[in-house]
């Protein structure tokens, strides 16, 4: 009897669930936010991509994925343009170390310099010991020998005249003494030139960006051995074929790089390789990603004219399987529809949608990348 009573209770519960499902009105929700007026999904968790390209995401899954939407009102924003650029060193805070004459590299007081090492202006980085070809070396050595012999003769003459002081004119003794001093100085200079070395000093204070030196390395005249930059004073050099663009630019940012502000220094007045160089001074906030000289970047510059559109976070725009930019529009409580759009970047974190959206669309602004992965 007890088993029959339990079986009857289960049948009654199933019947009640069927009645509730049948009697649930449109929009009715269960305890977990599920719609009781819809047939249960056959996919795991109810996530499914529909034949029309839309995606079904149950309420419980939306909370787990932390999806957020917002109405997209139309507004005005400055029109922007993207320019290719690269990071360059500020010419007033950078320098190169070159050898005046060729020679052999010798380590400096702190050893050989390495990239990333901090240096101070005037610090000796390396020594370059000069070398001469055999014929020039032989000529210098013979000249030194001649000067040495002439000095010794002049010293003997000076000693003889000094021993006869009082019987020879004073001017002859002074002249002999001057000859000895001159020959001694010339011999000293020749000896120094035979074994001289040149100190290569840091032209500015900063960090070594590149060092191409090794102990015993033979370097040529004017060869660039070391480059020094100040990482706190960098610039961006952009280029454009539009010669009038320099007078129409406003603020600028680097695409995909947060915490970096750009201040326009000016535009060149002559083309280089068919494009006009534009220079911007970089201001990096604390905690921002470091920049490297030579790094290629995309510069997003605001124009002085304004354009109508819808401002959205850059994270709301994803790529479709055909690699076109799309946003996800919420068309129902659990339905999201992909919508192709045309965008213009405003800065590193926001974009302006110029076509594809209406002012009353509810756009998915957080978790768009997760929804795009649902299959």
Q: Whole-angstrom Cα distance, residue 17 to residue 363?
A: 35
Extract the tokens encoding 364.
């998915």
256-283: string of b/e by CB count within 10 Å (b at 16+)?
ebeebbbebeebeeeeeeebbbbbbebe
Length of the chain in terms of residues written: 375
**Residue-level pLDDT at 132:** 67
CB atoms within 10 A of CB 285: 9
Helix, strand, coil in percent for the chain, rounding step 5: 25, 40, 35
Measured distance CA(182)–CA(155) in Å, rounded: 11
pTM of the model: 0.58
Q: What is the DSSP letter of 367?
A: S
CA distance 238 to 356: 30
Q: What is the signed CA dihedral for 62, 67, 71, 74, rounded to 10 degrees? A: -140
Q: Whose structure tokens read 């070395």?
A: 197
Which domains are present in the chain?
68-88+233-372 (2.40.420.20), 93-221 (no CATH)
Distance CA 307, CA 303 (A): 10
Each residue's pLDDT, cut to its tens digit, for the chain (375 residues) gives: 444 344 344 434 444 444 434 334 444 444 444 444 444 444 445 788 898 889 999 999 999 999 999 888 888 887 788 899 999 999 999 999 998 888 899 999 999 999 999 999 999 999 998 876 666 667 777 888 888 888 899 899 888 888 888 788 888 888 988 998 998 888 888 776 667 788 999 999 999 999 999 998 999 888 899 999 998 899 999 999 988 888 888 788 888 788 888 888 988 888 988 899 999 999 888 777 788 899 999 998 888 778 888 889 888 999 998 889 999 999 999 999 999 999 888 776 788 898 888 878 899 999 999 999 988
């Amino acid at each position: 009897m007890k088993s029959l009573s339990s079986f009857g209770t289960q049948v009654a519960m199933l019947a009640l669930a069927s009645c509730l499902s049948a009697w649930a009105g449109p929009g009715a929700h269960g305890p977990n936010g599920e719609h009781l007026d819809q047939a249960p999904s056959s996919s795991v968790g109810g996530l499914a991509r529909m034949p029309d390209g839309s995606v079904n995401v149950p309420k419980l899954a939306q909370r787990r994925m932390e999806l957020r939407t917002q109405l997209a009102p139309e507004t005005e924003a400055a029109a922007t343009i993207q320019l290719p650029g690269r990071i360059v060193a500020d010419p007033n805070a950078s320098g190169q170390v070159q050898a005046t004459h060729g020679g052999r590299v010798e380590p400096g007081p702190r050893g050989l310099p390495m990239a990333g090492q901090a240096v101070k202006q005037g610090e000796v980085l390396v020594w370059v010991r000069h070398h001469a070809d055999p014929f020039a070396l032989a000529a210098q050595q013979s000249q030194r020998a001649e000067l040495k012999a002439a000095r010794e003769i002049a010293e003997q003459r000076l000693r003889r005249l000094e021993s006869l002081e009082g019987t020879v004119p004073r001017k002859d003794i002074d002249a002999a003494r001057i000859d000895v001093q001159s020959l001694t100085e010339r011999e000293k200079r020749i000896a120094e030139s035979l074994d001289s070395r040149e100190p290569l000093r840091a032209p500015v204070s900063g960090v070594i960006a590149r060092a191409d030196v090794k102990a015993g390395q033979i370097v040529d005249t004017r060869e660039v051995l070391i480059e020094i930059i100040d990482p706190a004073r960098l610039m961006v050099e952009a280029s454009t074929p539009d010669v009038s663009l320099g007078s129409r630019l406003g603020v600028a940012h680097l695409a995909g790089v947060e915490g970096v502000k750009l201040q326009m220094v000016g535009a060149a007045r002559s083309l280089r390789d068919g494009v006009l160089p534009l220079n911007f001074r970089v201001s990096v906030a604390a905690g921002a990603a470091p920049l490297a000289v030579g790094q290629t970047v995309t510069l997003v510059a605001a124009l002085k004219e304004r354009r109508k559109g819808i401002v959205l976070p850059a994270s709301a725009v994803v790529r479709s399987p055909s690699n076109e930019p799309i946003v996800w529009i919420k068309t129902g409580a659990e339905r999201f529809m992909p919508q192709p759009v045309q965008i213009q970047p405003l800065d590193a974190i926001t974009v302006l949608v110029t076509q594809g959206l209406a002012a009353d669309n509810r756009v998915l602004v957080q978790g768009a990348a997760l929804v795009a992965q649902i299959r």
